[in-house]
Amino acid sequence: MSSSASLRASLGPLGFGGAPLGNMFRTVSEAQAEETLHAAWDAGIRYFDTAPVYGTGLSEHRFGHALRTRPRDEFVLSTKVGRMLRPNPASSGDFGPFLSGLPFDVEYDYSADGARRSVEDSLQRLGLSRIDIVYIHDIAEDVHGAGWKPLFDSAMEGAARALAQLKAEGVIKAWGLGVNTVEACERALAQAEPDVFLLAGRYSLLNTPALDTLFPACQARGVEVVVGSPYNSGLIAGGTTYNYREADAHEVAARDRLAAIAKTYSVDLRAAALQFCEAHPVVASVIPGTANPGRVAENAALLKQPIPQDFWKALKAAELIPSQAPVPAGAQ
């Protein structure tokens, strides 16, 4: 799975991001979560990503419940390490943007032993015997602050080495980082041999810091990128949040400029957002998250919706996306 061709082929252009099914920002019923995951399968999605911190285990439980009856070789599953869940009967299950999760506390642990234990715990929560890709989660400045680099370096000595060994043993097929910053990925390339990055919100119609240095470095190394949060956690899709917080006026105005050009060319901005991310050759898959069953099929259709080349030319002419950014071949 570490080769460029096999990873892209196995993931497919559209995957499913599991944060919303951990009750991100709002609670989701068990029935709705199951229906959403079944809708993803019915839409042809075969790559599913989750993490222990999403609802302190809740997302993993829900993924396992929906996927364990599916043929295991027909889908790819990724989860993450770096946070251990500790049982606490007094816990409300609230952690960060996740509401009413399972009764566990969260403890950071980027050690080698912690990574191995985390993988074993995830297998138990999922009720599955195999995880395909494991990401070291949130080992970056946005989560750990200005002093993140020593912690990052220790994670490369600990969790990264453990995951590389698990890959060598055949326990997992690939490993990398699951982060929201470009710098963490670039630092990982300098210190280790990751297979793939899950980079959220840093390559989108509104935000392209990955384009100039990270993506070329990944191409040179044969490392692919899964793009998370292609709608920047909702703003591009008409919501009010940008990268997991309320959008400011400048960000809303940037979205509105994109939307105005999209309207001129009768383009659904969500389709443009997905297709823009998927068009870069280093991108193996795009994984929007949702807890809405209907939205899953909608995303699949949006990824295939024809978009005229003049629309992309207009975005570049208005300097809303970089001139060097690849765009879909699409309709003429």
pLDDT digits (tens, 9 = 90+) for 315-326: 999 999 999 999
Are the beta carbons of 314 and 264 closer than 8 angstroms?
yes
- Second-level CATH architecture of 4-317: Alpha-Beta Barrel (3.20)
- The pLDDT of 294-301, averaged and rounded, is 96
Catalytic positions are 54
- C-alpha closest to that of 148 among 183, 111, 119: 183
pLDDT at residue 281 greater than cutoff 90: yes
Q: Round the average pLDDT of the chain to a whole number and report it.
A: 96
pTM: 0.96
pLDDT digits (tens, 9 = 90+) for 157-179: 999 999 999 999 999 999 999 99
Which tens digit of pLDDT belongs to each residue from 253-264?
999 999 999 999
Q: Are 224 and 293 in contact (CB under 8 A)?
A: no
Across the beta sheet with 283-287, what order do the strands follow?
Answer: 16-17, 47-49, 76-81, 133-137, 174-179, 196-200, 224-228, 283-287
Give the pLDDT confidence of 77-92 residue by residue, as tens digits: 999 999 999 999 999 9
Residues 6+ apart with CB under 8 A from 190: none
Among residues 327, 183, 331, 202, the alpha carbon closest in space to that of 266 is found at 331
User: How long is the chain?
Assistant: 332
